[in-house]
Amino acid sequence: MPPSDATIAQPNFAGAVAVAPLLHTHPKLQAHVLRGAIVSAYTSGIVCDDRLALPDDVREGQHRVLTDNDNLFHFEPGHSVRYKYPCTKLKNAIFIGGSGAYNWYHFVIEILPKALLAQMLPAAYADYPLVVPEECRSIPSFAEVLAIFAGGREITYLPKGKYLQVEELIAFDEISTGPDNVKVGFWPEVGDYSQHDDFMRTYVDALRAALLPDQHAQANNAKRIFLIRPGVRRNYNQDALVEIAAKYGFAPHDPSGLSLAAQARLFASAEMIIGPSGAAWVGMAFRQDPAQFLSWLPAEYRQFCSYASLAAILGHEMRFLETTPDRPLKWSGDAYTGGYQLAPEPFERALQHMTGAA
């Protein structure tokens, strides 16, 4: 596919001067034929003999971006080192994997669009199986969303710590990029992010068409929803905020317990969505008509652009509040697991502004 605009939106925090999205060019999308390639479903690095093929964003940012290598390789100054583990051998395959493949957001927004590209390959590749992470077999929502784009191909499921050596592998350029983690002393930066706007919109349209045949009927429900977390990580003062939000018509929902189709219907029907950062924000893709979103992030994530950029290219408005971590954050892994507090007063003011109740 030819190059496309890439709309990169920084989080706009309530009370701060709004920052306009940046516009640059995402390079064309190509398929690459790699011979004798060794892959893990959980890293974007592919080993070919004595070479390591990497996406440009990982190669150029290796001094600060902490990519998942699934113990297949590691970086050293000026070169990389490959670990030698037993590999299952496969004749042909199409690679649908990458860093963060176990995470719902990374899989649906950054990795799965490659399966739609696979549908555009010439007929000579029609019998090549897809190589996907094990979660596509073990987690129902992963399996359901993969089925939309699998195109009837055979599936090879690859668990973490297991590797394939493929005689002829088809791998695609990155469609949407953003770091899974960054190294200690660094935080996400605007330059870490890009996406092929045109293809991402095509992908989202296909996702909606498969799950929401009557999209406008869903949009007319005009719900207000509060995305709640099950309390596995990043615990915060959720109960107090749910109580405040209820005054403005927001009902709590945990999408993780719903089927994919039910998740799609829930988000499609919501004119306003609030909730913490997390993989549940995949759901914004199901909302066709413009909607308003509110989420929250630590100060260190003021240039974390994943959610804001997706909202921007889909025509939604998304704003953020700043959280206070329970303990100082030393790196992005602390932000992923650590608890925090969100002050009730600015939260309520943001809801008043959002709903017109101010």
What is the rounded distance in angstroms from the CA atom of residue 310 to the CA atom of residue 313? 5
Q: Copy the structure tokens of residue 282.
A: 């995949």
Predicted local confidence at residue 204, as pLDDT:
98
In the predicted model, what is the mean pLDDT of residues 329-348?
A: 93
Predicted local confidence at residue 214, as pLDDT:
72
Predicted local confidence at residue 221, as pLDDT:
61
Q: Copy the structure tokens of residue 135.
A: 């979660």
Q: Sign (positive/negative) of CA torsion 151, 6, 75, 37?
A: positive
pLDDT reading at 213 higher than 60 = yes
pLDDT reading at 314 higher than 70 = yes
What is the pLDDT confidence band of residue 216, given thresholds at 50, 70 and 90? low
Over residues 232-281, the pLDDT tens digits come to 678 999 999 999 999 999 999 999 889 999 999 999 999 999 999 999 99
In the predicted model, what is the mean pLDDT of residues 97-116?
A: 96
Predicted local confidence at residue 358, as pLDDT:
66
Predicted local confidence at residue 215, as pLDDT:
57
Predicted local confidence at residue 222, as pLDDT:
65
Q: Which residues pair with 52 in a beta bridge?
A: 47
pTM of the predicted structure, to 2 decimals = 0.94
Q: Which residues pair with 38 in a beta bridge?
A: 47, 165
In the predicted model, what is the mean pLDDT of residues 217-245?
A: 83
What is the pLDDT confidence band of residue 115, given thresholds at 50, 70 and 90? very high
Predicted local confidence at residue 73, as pLDDT:
82
pLDDT reading at 81 higher than 90 = no
What is the pLDDT confidence band of residue 27, given thresholds at 50, 70 and 90? very high
Predicted local confidence at residue 127, as pLDDT:
96
Predicted local confidence at residue 232, as pLDDT:
67
In the predicted model, what is the mean pLDDT of residues 318-329?
A: 95
